[in-house]
Structure 1
Amino acid sequence: MSYFQRIYRTLNPARKPDLELAFRHNVEHLPTLWLIGKTGAGKSTLIRAVTGLSDIEVGRGFKPCTRTATRYDFLADTPVLTFIDTRGLAEAGYDPREDINACEGNSHALVIVMRADDPEQSELLDALRQIRQSGMIRNALLVHTAIDLLDSPQERDKCIALNQQAVEKIWGEIENAPVDLIGRSGQPVGLEDLIGKLANFLPIVAELFERRDKQSAEEANFRKLKTEIMWYAGAAGATNAVPVVGLVSVPAIQTKMLHSLANQYGLEWNRRLLAELGSTLGMGFGVQYASRLGLQQLIKLIPVYGQTVGAASAAVTSYCVTYALGRAGCIYFFNKACGQPTSPEELKATYRKAFEHIMPVARDEAENNL
């Protein structure tokens, strides 16, 4: 097939894309946090504390991943992040290679969970030695749990140092986060520091689990829908990394997202509503958007370059554009549901801010999934 025939087919697809394949591809390449530690170390409690979900919600969400590990997708219906919980450490001859393969290829970090008051960690240390030798895991964080159960700060520091030294003999220097996910007062201790350190490895963690005390009614509504918007953005970015597909599937995914958002604000989705949103964003936005998307698809057809740099750029842009459209759509739909106008300046500013804000997450996913 000639170069120009490929261009023609790209710009004039013969059929509508299979969006289910795009969403499935995204789920298979989610950013992953691999939790490893002895039974009772607090791995499931850590997931509950970070996500804010209940025991029942987390418990029901786990599903087998390997023979020795289970997988929890956050959230179940619109997953954007995966936790893998290793439960086979007590088994004789535990071999982590299957679990390593389950994480390989995804943007991920290893979260080593150790109770501060438990010095017997031989099973975990044996597993860490094998994981380290594999060379597959780039990022790791050591989480010392149950620190509030120790009688004094001096004892706490001594226990943390003991386990820290044992791990560093195998792993080398490693950052740590001392926490108590229940706490004597019933409130987690060190949770914000833990989230911040996880976010150093996976920017999406900060985006999903940042704590905000003060927010407007519109912002509160957006926060409820943010995970869904990021789910659509992830699918758009993932499918746009594949040559030819993105030109058709990305706009379809974005339209599906806006349809869902409008319905959740109690608005009927139709061409008129889409036209009103587009009109408020402005004609210049539409022309710029269409030109950028089309150019990216043509770049992806260039041998070698198009499948690396071009594909990565397309994935990042589609993720950011989809997220920014979702954020702008939320403001527009909120105001419309309240009977209030939305100025073009406000909408464009919201779009630009959201595009730039989500860029680190989009880049991280593109770099680790291509």
Structure 2
Amino acid sequence: MYQLTFDTQTFIKQHWQKKPVVLTQAFIDFIDPIAADELAGLACEEEISSRIVVTKKDGWDVIQGPFEDYDQYGESNWQLLVQAVNHWYPDAQPLVEAFRFLPDWRFDDLMVSFATPQGGVGPHIDNYDVFIIQGEGERRWRVGDIGNHRRRGGDANSPLVDDFEPIIDVVLKKGDVLYIPPGYPHCGETINLALSYSIGFRAPSQQELLTQLADSLIDSNTGHKRFTSINETNQPGLVSDEQQRGIMQLLAELASQPENYQTMLGKLLSQNRFELDICEGEAPLNSQDLLDAIEDGASINRIGGLKVLRLENDQQKRLFINGEVYPLVNTASNELELLANAFYIDNQAAAKLCKTAEITQFLAQLINQGMYYLTE
């Protein structure tokens, strides 16, 4: 169990998406949820996203995984980074749970890094919020202020920056946490062999929202309204300001009508960027099989990283899971709330939920799809 020592609501008011902060000893007696050799083993797997960053005098080399051997990289100046460790390593989930004071739809993944002395990825800017938790070892972190920073090589789209003046310069020790909002340049340098944990939160961009909205309108065969106007200019080659605003108002109308955007948002926000560890059983489970298992003492778990979301003031009774819609028209609001919030449904709660046929069928379906599984 990982318990944060700072007041989360005060943090949200004072720092969340506002300014970076060092949270000294945010975890007391912090225990690494994964060992370095276990992390290295995950990076051997084809389906797991991993990379090694090698620090050089003139920059950094990035090598994409999977990896079979690490001897060639030596004892310093490199760092292994493995994405979505919470998807593949269940013992990492309790660390994620400590940060569920922020909504699941924002949560991206738990990235774990093993770094040798002088290992790092260089000064860079992220477009998401990140909590960096220090495990074994020590790393020095510098964080600069938000502003116009010169991008490496003149590439405006590169996350790398040439350098910055630090407003934070700190050596993180075991249990310390550094929070960095989007847009703040930062750079980590390893002092001795170290394990670090990055918990990232991101929101969709305008590009992602418009792309998803267009796909949703096509799928539902809606969004056919066209612009009409009364006044026309006397210049055939001119689009008036009034007409420009009127045309764009068509998009604003879509964004103000829940029937047009709710399904799209639920699907988009419940999707994962990284592959999930789907665990389909050998034989399909029916409702009676599930009831029998619960009667024998079984509990129900989500797989790591799975997002189960509901929308406030949704026009329909449903859940959004991994980009799909699951209607639950006969399920009570408090039961929908429990299903959306609970990563682990203990035996007593499972027995209570499965008193209704709809929820029993729903949970059996998710188990058969490999997104939930039974535990003793």
Q: TM-score, normalised by structure 2?
A: 0.26
Structure that is richer in helix per residue:
1
Larger radius of gyration: 2
